[in-house]
Amino acid sequence: MGDQNRFEEINVEKLNIVNENNDIKMTLFNQDKIPPLLMNGEDVLPGHRQNDPISGIMFYNGKGDECGGLIYGSEEDEDGNVYADASLTFDEYEQDQVVQMHFTKINSYDEAFTGV
């Protein structure tokens, strides 16, 4: 193995895991650095998720298309209204998710579902 750096702790806003060709395979991100929804190299839903209070991990296939992820977020406004959301998805090749676990909470309303 070549030179390796070791860190006890590292703080980043976005971290891209890449292969030797610098192709992104996985991204870890915070609320301010949410990656676009990429299909065939294009952002297919500009602005999608950009205002959501989420952080997470996105996975990418061999073509660089988003193919799933794990996201979580929550916030409480000045009036005490609570919003929380979590989702784990795996997408079919060049399609939307085929496996999903999802949870949403808006104040006292809870919704959870799984799907294949």
Q: Which residue is associated with the tokens 């949870």?
A: 103
DSSP 37-92: -EETTEESSTTTTTTS--EEEEEE-TTS-EEEEEEEEEEE-TT--EEEEEEEEEEP
**Structure pTM?**
0.79
pLDDT of residue 87: 93
pLDDT of residue 92: 84
Confidence of residue 113 (pLDDT cuts 50, 70, 90): low
List, for residues 36-50, the tens digit of each pLDDT value.
Answer: 888 888 888 888 777
Mean pLDDT of the chain: 87
Q: How many CB atoms lie within 10 A of CB 10?
A: 7
